[in-house]
Amino acid sequence: MSLSLEVLNSVSRLSPTEWDALRRDDYPFFRHDFLLGLEQADCTTPAAGWTPAHIRLKDQDRTLAILPAWLKSHSYGEYVFDWAWADAWRRMGLEYYPKLVTAVPFTPATGPRLLHAADLDPDVLWASFREQMPELAVSLGASSWHVLFPRADDARALAAAGLHTRHQVQFHWYNRDYKDFDDFLSTFSSRKRKSLRKERRRVSEQGLSLSMRDGTELSEEDWAVFHRFYQMTYAKRSGHGGYLTREFFLEVAANMGEQVLMAMAEKEGVPVAGALYFRDGDTLYGRYWGCSREYDCLHFETCYYQGIEYCIRHGLKRFDPGAQGEHKIQRGFEPTTTLSCHWVAQPELDHAVGNFTREEQTHVEEYRRDAMTMLPFKASSTEDP
């Protein structure tokens, strides 16, 4: 075999057929049309600080693997916070940006991070990419390589190849073969169960009704309304209109069929709030939320309870509602370890990052175990995930 690497400056450099043939499952965020749509909707472009630099491993004309990656000129939209690292680089007179990031843009959802032919061993491929990373980093002018939210088996392979593993905690819901929402609530202590039911009643008492529809059932107006909600929420939280453009919602998400879902809340027939989800064969991913007006408990109903009901109804095993949010614990979302992997070109700084991640891991695990004690379940209702 004559193996070589090629950096692709756009997903469009490969056909949808060639790209999607390397996907080993139906994880929605590495679909060719999803990633190309982010580019074409001006979300992942050099102007936005996300320069596509997808790395193709090939044997002559055959594509063996693709490492989706971007050269980043900032650290926004990643959800693995490395501002202190960037500052350390600056104080040493070095440039931290650009850095090479393998991730799903704006999406802290654990999943596959390497696309490859079915007959190839991913551990061997990860080792190959790591072996060639120093030369590749020089050619790209990158200070470092970061693989964000990989699955545990990929993280182990990357650790074996010499990357440092960083630990974080998110709060995920697990379906233990519940028959319905009441069956799920039956695992709660009495006081916590009453509190959650009160929240759901409060939504209906305000005259609000909710529906969950997939992409095949949503109109262009539904998507336009949701984009307005999305912008309003970002404006309130951060003073800008969000990372995703109107075109993304109208032309990318809207074309993902049954893999995209929207929970819409209405009052007297007028949409007032919505939450956007994606799904694959076993997991629901809660992604974006917005509203035109605040209502008591509506966020919990739209972003969490509607998702839980959907998972139970459709037999999905896990619900990943996104990063952060300790308020999820009392609603049955369990503290779950998520991972990222890091390699730094400068040896002294690489050593320092390794020391940091090992020390941080101890504190993160202590926090996760403490958070487990705050769950609302009866003592025998759950196992440590």
Cβ-Cβ contacts under 8 Å for 14 (sequence gap 6 or more) = 8, 32, 56, 63, 66
Taking the domain 3-169+336-372, which CATH number applies?
3.40.630.30
Report the CATH architecture of 176-316. 3-Layer(aba) Sandwich (3.40)
Residue type, 143: S
CB atoms within 10 A of CB 140: 19
> Once rounded to an integer, what is the mean pLDDT over residues 90-96?
94
> Once rounded to an integer, what is the mean pLDDT over residues 239-258?
92
Does 245 score more than 90 pLDDT? yes
Bridge partners of residue 283, in order along the sequence? 318
List, for residues 180-231, the tens digit of each pLDDT value: 999 999 999 999 999 999 999 999 999 999 999 999 999 999 999 999 999 9
Cα separations (Å) of 385 from 172, 178, 183, 328?
10, 17, 20, 16
C-alpha span between 139 and 145 (Å, rounded): 13
Q: For residue 270, name the pLDDT band (cuts at 50, 70, 90).
A: very high
Provide the pLDDT for residue 333.
98
Provide the pLDDT for residue 4.
84
CB 273 within 8 A of CB 291: yes
Cα separations (Å) of 212 from 165, 216, 289, 293?
37, 12, 14, 20
C-alpha span between 162 and 230 (Å, rounded): 40
Angle at 175 between CA 170 and CA 180, to 5 degrees: 130
Does 384 score more than 70 pLDDT? no
Q: For residue 3, name the pLDDT band (cuts at 50, 70, 90).
A: confident
Residue 292 CB-density burial (10 A; 0-12 exposed, 13-18 middle, 19+ buried): middle
CA-CA-CA-CA torsion sign (246, 79, 115, 11)? positive
In the chain, the percentage of residues whose pLDDT exceeds 70 is 98
> Once rounded to an integer, what is the mean pLDDT over residues 288-301?
95
Does 283 score more than 70 pLDDT? yes
Task: Note whether 3-169+336-372 and 176-316 share their fold.
Answer: yes
Q: For residue 140, name the pLDDT band (cuts at 50, 70, 90).
A: very high
Say which residue, 147 or 382, is predicted with more confidence.
Answer: 147
Provide the pLDDT for residue 236.
82
Q: For residue 385, name the pLDDT band (cuts at 50, 70, 90).
A: low
Domain chopping of the chain, boundaries: 3-169+336-372, 176-316
Residue 248 CB-density burial (10 A; 0-12 exposed, 13-18 middle, 19+ buried): buried
Provide the pLDDT for residue 383.
56
Pairing of strands 318-320, 164-174: antiparallel
C-alpha span between 203 and 209 (Å, rounded): 8
Provide the pLDDT for residue 380.
58
Cβ-Cβ contacts under 8 Å for 126 (sequence gap 6 or more) = 114, 154, 157, 158, 161
What six digits make up the tokens of 130?
């790591």
In the chain, the percentage of residues whose pLDDT exceeds 90 is 92
Provide the pLDDT for residue 12.
97
DSSP result, 290-323: EESS--TTHHHIIIIIHHHHHHHHHT-SEEE--S
What six digits make up the tokens of 276?
């956007």
Q: For residue 239, name the pLDDT band (cuts at 50, 70, 90).
A: confident
